[in-house]
Structure 1
Amino acid sequence: MTSSAQAIPASEPLIVAESDEVRAGSRFLKPVEIVASALLVAIVTLLLAGVTSRYVFSLPVVWIDEVASICFLWLAMLGSAIALDRNEHLRLTLFLHRMPEQVQGFMEAFALLVIAIFLLCLMVPAFDYALEEWYITSPALNIPNTFRVAAIPFGMVAMLGIVVAYALKSSSWRDLAVAALLIIAIAGALWFFSPSLVKLGSAKILLFLVVFVAACLAAGVPIAFCFGIGTLSYLAFATQVPTFVMIGRMDEGMSGIILLSVPIFVLLGCILDATGMGKAIVDFLASLLGHVRAGMSYVLLGSLFVVSGISGSKVSDMATVAPALFPEMKRRGHSPREMIALLATGAAMADTVPPSIVLIVLGSVAGVSIAGLFTSGFVVAMVLLAVLAILARWKSRRESMEGVRRAPASLIGRTLLVAAPALVLPFLIRSTVAGGVATATEVSTIAVIYALFVGIVLYGGIGWRKLYGMLVETAALTGSILLILGTALAMAWAITQAGVAQGLASIMTGLPGGWISFMAVTIVVFMILGCVLEGLPAIVLMAPLMFPIAKTLGINDVHYSMVIVTAMNIGLMTPPIGIGFYLACNIGNVSPDEAIGAIWPYLVALIIGLVIIATVPWISTAFL
């Protein structure tokens, strides 16, 4: 959802789920949640059947990918509606919560109306797009593509109903009326000046896709809808291109076959949390390294490194590691602010460790080998791990080691035995994808089944109610991710069609210093975008523009990928805007004001590591 009945603290930039009593469409959404959960189960089952038929029986079933693709788009749109109802769409609240309370109420009403107008304006084009696809049939099943793309108008209708219900419940009539008048006035002015805007040239991109998007971000509109309303306004008032085209671009952004692994890795992260597999890994590393100076810092960084190879999610990584390690670190004299700084920057380091959802999305958008990204990401993460470990060692020179003893071999062996089934999983994922044995989608499916089996048999099991909750949560998170990808790709397409890419390429290739200057600009750009937009939107928006330039300058695409992902993650953890920093503070229950001063040395260490990675291509490409 886009707003809440109570103000969300500035330290909670992710929209938090509300109780059923205040959710706008909880009763209506129950059947949608059930269907979305069933679709997710169907996708996992279909992909598992495909893997089994291909590798066990050497009999590929060609229609499985088509059915999975149909289920996937429906899952994305239903998940977007669930995420809207559960307040789980990503937005920037830093500026919103610094406004007076009365202004906040108006901004919330404004944000809701912006979403409603975006959905309402695209409703007819979405239905038209679905009807047009009736004449296109799938190659294997030979059925109209309408069965797949009908998910887009259906999801928009569901989201519109939720937004309207929530606006009527949470906003005052006065705020809604004033916000509506403001939007009508802006739309009227744009319509009046539309003939001039069409002739304005590339400068109009600045108005619609920078100023409009930035204003909506500051007002608390979720990022996906910021991109959407900016692109829609640009097409409607500044071009002759029909808005119908935007639906096609959104469909393209949400339908990549590689993206099928996203919900499965999200589900894998949920299983990791629910079964305690991550905690088993943390306990083993603590028994192995906990007795040395800075040992608990090493354990925290090592746990983030290993656990990220299972979950693929920064949130899951931090939520698994922090509660298990923070009490002992406090006992040894680590200050809470230092622990948060290490947690946040360690999570930034770990996002290049496969299976990273960011790497999967980047590979899909930029056409880069997922196997290459997984191989390179592991090595790059080792470099970042080393610089953080060196800093942690220096910081620990006053650490209290009183009463700390080396764990007996029996304890190490016992924790290893418990952790072994979980430790197998990240290495299985990395080696299988990097070795070209199976795709990321196939491996993610096997990993989910393996984790479920191991979790049920060895780690205490998962109840049906908890499993259902995990499926719904996965659907919601998948929907919020894919809606961002769809609108961001539409926006990137609009920027490219306006000729910005050519102008940007001309400027970038003409920089003094060649590829090194381009790398420096890239680092600055993606650190800023990482602060403001979070990872996935920044990648989808900028990758189509930047990768062709990098290729022109002779930069390896995997090397360039590692640089932009690392820079983006550093920006994500950089206060005062970086979303990941506040998320780490929330997980560690530490005030951002307290932690903000401690994180800078760790960010400098990451930047040093990034400079090494950017200037030494061998690190990223040696093992490809």
Structure 2
Amino acid sequence: MGLLVLVGFFVFGLVVGIPIAITLGLSSLAYLLVMDIPAVVMPQKMYAGMDVFVLLSIPGFILAGNLMNRGGITERIIRFANALVGWIRGGLGLTNVGASMLFGGITGTAVADAASIGGVMIPGMKKAGYPADFSAAVTAASSTVGPIIPPSVPMIIVGALSSISVGKMFLAGAIPGILMGLAMMVTTYIIARRRNFPRQEWKGGGEIARSFAGAFWALAMTGLILYGLLSGIATPTETAIVASVYALVVGLFVYRELPLKEVPKILVDSAVSAAGILVLVGFANVFGWILVSERIPQTIADAVLSFTDNRFVIILIITVLLLIVGMFMETIAALIILFVPLLTLATSVGIDPLHFATFAVLNLMIGLTTPPLGVCLFVCAGIAKLPLSPVIIAILPYIATNIFILLLVCYFPPLATWLPSVLLP
């Protein structure tokens, strides 16, 4: 009875459009009341879910990204990417993908990427003669690279849910993220050739050098973050704080485009964003605790293993499940609810936890661009001032491309595990 109430409230909340965090909280509370469990369990489990040291890095990375973005980073990164690939057919589309790859190493969130890059690139591409639906589609698709290339908020969540090192998670996403970006560049080029999109003139090596010099301090943040993690000098939380201080100094004194009077507002905005994530983590932890108490993870594992114990088939089942879930559920909530049950299933057939965690995150990132609830789709369609349907049609080649890369990562584990094994043995 209790489980039926839990699922019923959860599905009802999703259908009527209640925010996912509130849906998780209400459905969990309904379960506790029906099962006559003291309501005090809810704040206890919420606090236990949020009382994880590595989660303190999330506000730090969000703040660092906001400071760098307000401090002139977006335009400099776009200029550098444009100098590298803008002269190729469909160059602004390639620039869009390249900028997202570079920008993702700073913000760690797809929505921030879509809003920041899209706010500049979508109007610029439309002005240069690119179709609005294509401009929005390539922006939405490329924004999913952000949470794959380190740093990554979803991967921090995964580290908090398991014993997997956040540093290893960051490194595990590097190669898949680069492959995703390159594959989307190839897709963009093919579309550009077929539809005869414009290209810019080659501006010479001098422009590459000048644009790199302008973007250097922004790009160096990624190196700072990785050095802190790989050297062992700092934990992810300490690295996030150092990155925030670095971003403040660069914005105020190097780029000089970050007004000091805006810093308090940036602090508040970052705190609100981080609080939203942590509240979601807290409610989802209560929901996850209920699932574990009802033995749902073990039931799922037993049900699948009774059907097959073939590792390749199980990877395919997990992949399809996460792709479907990603169409309807927010990424962090899906991770908190499903990661542990599916990790139990994956490890039972010998799948490396680091490998599983990487393709699970990659899976749910693709969900940010799939209807009906792809958040990045809504953001980019809004910037392009288009209804959702033409953007969905335009993004289909990119979804196919990203699913191809996902399958490569799923069935060739070294793409995720090799770099961490070399740099963090």
Identify whether the pair has TM-score above 0.5, normalized to the shorter chain. Answer: yes
C-alpha distance in structure 2 between counterparts of 1:578 and 1:545, whole Å: 24
Of the three residues 262, 266, 280, the one matched with 1:466 is 262
Contact 1:337 1:594 in 2 (8 A): yes
C-alpha distance in structure 1 between counterparts of 2:215 and 2:50, whole Å: 36
Indicate whether 1:439 and 2:235 are aligned: yes
Shift of residue 334, structure 1, vs aligned partner: 2.2
Shift of residue 497, structure 1, vs aligned partner: 0.4
> 2:113: which partner in 1?
317
Indicate whether 1:399 and 2:196 are aligned: yes
Q: Write out per-residue CA displacement over residues 161-192 of structure 1, whole angstroms, 9 at most, x where no aligned residue.
A: xxxxxxxxxxxxxxxxxxxxxxxxxxxxxxxx
Unpaired stretches in structure 2, ≥5 consecutive residues: 421-425
Contact 1:374 1:434 in 2 (8 A): no
Shift of residue 297, structure 1, vs aligned partner: 2.1
Q: Write out per-residue CA displacement over residues 252-294 of structure 1, whole angstroms, 9 at most, x where no aligned residue.
A: 1112100001111111121122111122111112122211123
Letter in 1 for 2:215: A
TM-score, normalised via structure 2 length: 0.94
Indicate whether 1:585 and 2:381 are aligned: yes
Of the three residues 225, 230, 245, the one matched with 2:27 is 230
Give the 5 Å matches for 1:311-460.
Answer: 311-397=107-193, 398-401=195-198, 404-460=200-256
Contact 1:527 1:572 in 2 (8 A): no
Letter in 1 for 2:370: T
Contact 1:253 1:486 in 2 (8 A): yes
C-alpha distance in structure 2 between counterparts of 1:215 and 1:512, whole Å: 32
> 1:481: which partner in 2?
277
Q: Write out per-residue CA displacement over residues 24-50 of structure 1, whole angstroms, 9 at most, x where no aligned residue.
A: xxxxxxxxxxxxxxxxxxxxxxxxxxx
Letter in 1 for 2:114: M
Contact 1:280 1:419 in 2 (8 A): yes
Q: Write out per-residue CA displacement over residues 427-454 of structure 1, whole angstroms, 9 at most, x where no aligned residue.
A: 2212432443422111111111111111
- Pair 579,317 (structure 1): closer, same or farther in 2 beyond 3 Å: closer
C-alpha distance in structure 2 between counterparts of 1:507 and 1:608, whole Å: 28
Unpaired stretches in structure 1, ≥5 consecutive residues: 1-196, 198-203
Letter in 2 for 1:468: P
Letter in 2 for 1:555: I
Contact 1:271 1:451 in 2 (8 A): yes
Shift of residue 295, structure 1, vs aligned partner: 2.5
C-alpha distance in structure 2 between counterparts of 1:436 and 1:543, whole Å: 27
Give the 5 Å matches for 1:556-575.
Answer: 556-575=352-371
Q: Write out per-residue CA displacement over residues 454-489 of structure 1, whole angstroms, 9 at most, x where no aligned residue.
A: 111122243343111111111211111111110101
* Larger RCO (CA under 8 A, 6+ residues apart): 2
Contact 2:252 2:259 in 1 (8 A): no
- Pair 435,619 (structure 1): closer, same or farther in 2 beyond 3 Å: farther
Q: Write out per-residue CA displacement over residues 80-119 of structure 1, whole angstroms, 9 at most, x where no aligned residue.
A: xxxxxxxxxxxxxxxxxxxxxxxxxxxxxxxxxxxxxxxx
Of the three residues 5, 11, 16, the one matched with 1:219 is 16
Contact 2:158 2:335 in 1 (8 A): yes
TM-score, normalised via structure 1 length: 0.65
Shift of residue 549, structure 1, vs aligned partner: 1.8
Give the 5 Å matches for 1:187-206.
Answer: 197=1, 204-205=2-3
**Structure 1 residue runs of 4+, over 6 Å off?**
none
C-alpha distance in structure 2 between counterparts of 1:291 and 1:228, whole Å: 51
Q: Write out per-residue CA displacement over residues 357-381 of structure 1, whole angstroms, 9 at most, x where no aligned residue.
A: 1111111112211111111101111
C-alpha distance in structure 2 between counterparts of 1:326 and 1:502, whole Å: 46
C-alpha distance in structure 2 between counterparts of 1:294 and 1:584, whole Å: 19
Give the 5 Å matches for 1:301-316.
Answer: 301-316=97-112
Letter in 1 for 2:277: I
- Pair 381,274 (structure 1): closer, same or farther in 2 beyond 3 Å: same
Secondary structure at the aligned position of 2:38 is classed as: coil
Q: Write out per-residue CA displacement over residues 392-429 of structure 1, whole angstroms, 9 at most, x where no aligned residue.
A: 11101033446x31113333322222111111111221
Shift of residue 603, structure 1, vs aligned partner: 0.6
Contact 2:309 2:349 in 1 (8 A): no
Contact 2:297 2:344 in 1 (8 A): no
> 1:288: which partner in 2?
84
C-alpha distance in structure 1 between counterparts of 2:121 and 2:204, whole Å: 19
Letter in 2 for 1:575: P
Larger Rg: 1
Count of aligned pairs between the two proteins: 419
C-alpha distance in structure 2 between counterparts of 1:290 and 1:387, whole Å: 17
Of the three residues 63, 66, 72, the one matched with 1:276 is 72
Contact 2:86 2:95 in 1 (8 A): yes
C-alpha distance in structure 2 between counterparts of 1:598 and 1:526, whole Å: 23
C-alpha distance in structure 2 between counterparts of 1:463 and 1:401, whole Å: 37
- Over the matched positions of the two proteins, sequence identity in percent amounts to 27
Contact 2:118 2:380 in 1 (8 A): no
Contact 1:261 1:440 in 2 (8 A): yes
Of the three residues 301, 305, 311, the one matched with 1:515 is 311
Indicate whether 1:493 and 2:289 are aligned: yes
- Pair 271,588 (structure 1): closer, same or farther in 2 beyond 3 Å: farther
